[in-house]
A = this chain, B = another copy of it.
Amino acid sequence: MKKFINKPEDFVDEMIEGILKAHPTFYKKAKASLREIIRSNSPEKGKVAIATGGGSGHLPVFLGYVGEGLCDGVAVGDVFASPSAREMYNVTKAINGGKGVLYLYGNYGGDVMNFDMATEMAETDNIEVETVLVRDDVASSKNIEKRRGVAGLFYAYKIAGAAAYNGKNLQEVKSITEEALDNTRSMGVALSPCTIPEAGEPTFEIADDEMEIGMGIHGEPGIERTTLKHADEVTNTVIEKILADGPYDKGDEVSILVNSLGATPLEELYIIYNKVKDILKDKEIKVYNNYIGNYATSLEMSGMSISLMKLNPQLKTFLDAPAHSPFFTQRDLRDN
């Protein structure tokens, strides 16, 4: 296991300690625990608060999207493991500004169970809680309700965060975020696995001449294991699956996210984007903007995912709104 770590069991805590030391005016602990992190200026009175959380190993997901115009707090689990309901509840109390709290996270069993328990705990404190699950991975199930959340988390945070900062109430933030996610589809391709520090073994095995199309960010099985193919062919396969599944028609405008799962470098992401843009041009789907880089990762996994979000005027406004965290900055201008 080739990593810059100390004791595997200290991996998550030392990472969070590093983040708190690096950005001391930006983040703080909700109470005493390193696993309950909120923005320093939280709670903001009169603003809907957004809580997220999940297993570690996906930076900037989740902690990196606690920021201005993004989320307000996060419960941080062990690598690829849910944080506890108690941690979620403590974050909820710490960020509640009196306008309710939106739970916004990926559709994974442990997270759903614990956030639902946290909801019950918060309600005994008369904190209004709503939940939006991110289920953007078209490869994970034919049934949308059962799909996992992957890089579409980024769009969910961006839209929900901007809506909350623009004074929308809890029901409105929930409904706008659901609309954004109804318009969002993602799919990934893995080339090589990552290793969870405490396990010490790769999350899956794959031959030197193989790739897996549709693989999940924790190594969940995809829809096809195949020999290595050219970037253009892989990109075409992924885009075809996304377009066949989602609400994308000729004349629509979309935002594109080409995401590295960790080790795949920017150079390759731009080769992929080069093809995505051509395919969408052929289909007369207009590209409004793009995000290309490490937005939702799995430690050092080699692979990529592509996400599309169909836009409308309101979603454009919230997508274009400024946002800032130490992990993601968007100025108050359209930059591309």
Contacts and interface: CB of A to CB of B under 8 A. Distances in A.
B267 A59 contact: yes
B329 A15 contact: no
Contacts of A330: 329
Interface in A14-37: 14-19, 21-26
A329 B329 contact: yes
Given A6-B230, A21-B277, A274-B21, A57 B267 contact: yes
B4 A304 contact: yes
A257 to B, nearest CB: 11
A324 B330 CA distance: 10
B336 A26 contact: yes
A229 B211 CA distance: 31
Contacts of A228: 2
Nearest to A290: B22
A294 interface: yes
Interface of A: 2-7, 11, 14-19, 21-26, 56-57, 59-60, 64, 189, 191-192, 208, 211, 228, 230-232, 234-235, 262-274, 277, 290, 292, 294, 297, 299-300, 302, 304, 324, 326-327, 329-331, 335-336
Given A230-B5, A231-B4, A22 B299 contact: no
A223 B270 CA distance: 34
Contact of A266 (B59, B329, B336): B59
Nearest to A207: B2
A271 B13 CA distance: 9
A239 to B, nearest CB: 13
A265 B11 CA distance: 12
Contacts of A274: 14-15, 17-18, 21
Contacts of A232: 6
A53 B220 CA distance: 41
B21 A268 contact: no
A277 B19 CA distance: 11
Contacts of A18: 269-274, 277
A265 B14 contact: no
Contacts of A189: 4
Nearest to A272: B4
Contact of A271 (B15, B273, B290, B300): B15
Contacts of A191: 2-4
B4 A263 contact: no
28 contacts: A2-B192, A2-B228, A3-B231, A3-B264, A4-B231, A4-B234, A5-B230, A6-B232, A11-B267, A14-B231, A14-B270, A15-B267, A15-B268, A15-B271, A18-B269, A18-B271, A21-B277, A22-B292, A56-B267, A57-B265, A59-B267, A64-B266, A265-B299, A265-B300, A266-B294, A266-B297, A267-B299, A329-B331
8 closest A-B pairs by CB: A18-B270, A18-B274, A263-B263, A59-B266, A4-B231, A4-B268, A2-B191, A18-B273
